A and B are shown apart, each in its own frame.
Chain A
């Protein structure tokens, strides 16, 4: 028996019957589920997707963090450096950071606080923690020493004097290797001795520096680099 239906109803009925036919031909769902097992290749693919996504996410977070921190530091520094007292304090803080690095690097216990030492012609800014002014000559020179177990030959001294081209330093070249070096545009002489007692002679900003002690040559260079000089 036939009857008239709308075109949409006819389509709907046709789809429903077709789908019923198709689905009735499919094996039981529980059987199909047991048969399915993704291959290791597919698992690897999905792992790669996860790995890439995680890396991207981490990178984005890190970049955001760096950008925010940098912006915050710039803002804080800009605001604070406008005030002279704060600027001085910040220099001290910076110096302390250098001190921490120095202490860690040289591994010598320190004895004194930071000394902003005034010398006649120039100011040696913030000497690293532990260096003590031992002598101050009439020419404005200074000898700073860092001590620890002096009898075990573990100390570093820094001698600073005006660079008047009359300074003569004798170097025993029999057990030494002498190298001409440039540090931050300043020409210097590095003397590395076989007994471990090394020395750096260098002129900078009208002063001559002599750093020596039982420390490695590269450490001596770093000590010089960390001395802050304020003219």
Chain B
């Protein structure tokens, strides 16, 4: 019975693909990473049905950007799946609990994130890690994906937000990091 249901879901997602090659690639992706997605979702909520909804939401998000996922690199894909699932989960839970969405915040002027950087001593990496771990994932995740080499538009597609919003969040994340690091130093 369980196998049947699992296949039902897979068939549902496969119907989104026209190309047989992509279908085959997605089948492998589903079999390999659906468990990870569910695991990440259960880290965010104890309610089984909510975790399933998060997985479902994440799958829909990933399917629409499936050509951007480099499945041949397992480490990179695992990291991406983990990050996107976590983001989708937080986003889903916030929306369903009717909390204030970051998307609703007014846009602000921001500096170019590729502007010349300040120099940091590597001994402070652990401090930066601590700040990131403490930071709101809604800011941290766009910045993380940027550091992993994804473009602004790719991040926007994965997270289901506008490119403008991605830029704002990355800018804010960097500002938070810089301010808190300076305060520590």
A85 at the interface (CB under 8 A from B): no
A27 partner residues in chain B, CB cutoff 8 A:
39
By size class, the interface of chain A is: 35 or more
Chain A 81-109 interface 0/1 with B at a Cβ cutoff of 8 Å (1 = within):
00000000000000000000000000000
Nearest-neighbour CB distance to chain A for B4, whole angstroms, equals: 9
Nearest-neighbour CB distance to chain A for B18, whole angstroms, equals: 16
**Cβ-defined contact, B125 with A10, below 8 A:** yes
Nearest-neighbour CB distance to chain B for A64, whole angstroms, equals: 22
Nearest neighbor of B127 in chain A, beta-carbon distance: A14
B128 at the interface (CB under 8 A from A): yes
Nearest neighbor of B144 in chain A, beta-carbon distance: A15
Nearest-neighbour CB distance to chain B for A211, whole angstroms, equals: 58
B96 at the interface (CB under 8 A from A): no
What is the bound-complex CA distance between A2 and B125, given in angstroms?
Answer: 10
Contact surface of A with B, Cβ cutoff 8 Å: 2-19, 22-23, 26-27, 29-43, 45-46, 50
Total contacting residues, chain B, CB less than 8 A: 47
Chosen A-B contacts, 27 in total, with CB atoms closer than 8 Å, are A2-B121, A4-B120, A5-B119, A6-B120, A7-B119, A7-B177, A9-B120, A10-B120, A10-B124, A10-B125, A14-B132, A15-B143, A15-B147, A17-B125, A18-B129, A19-B79, A22-B82, A26-B39, A26-B82, A32-B38, A32-B39, A35-B38, A37-B2, A38-B6, A43-B5, A43-B9, A50-B15
B49 partner residues in chain A, CB cutoff 8 A:
39, 41-42
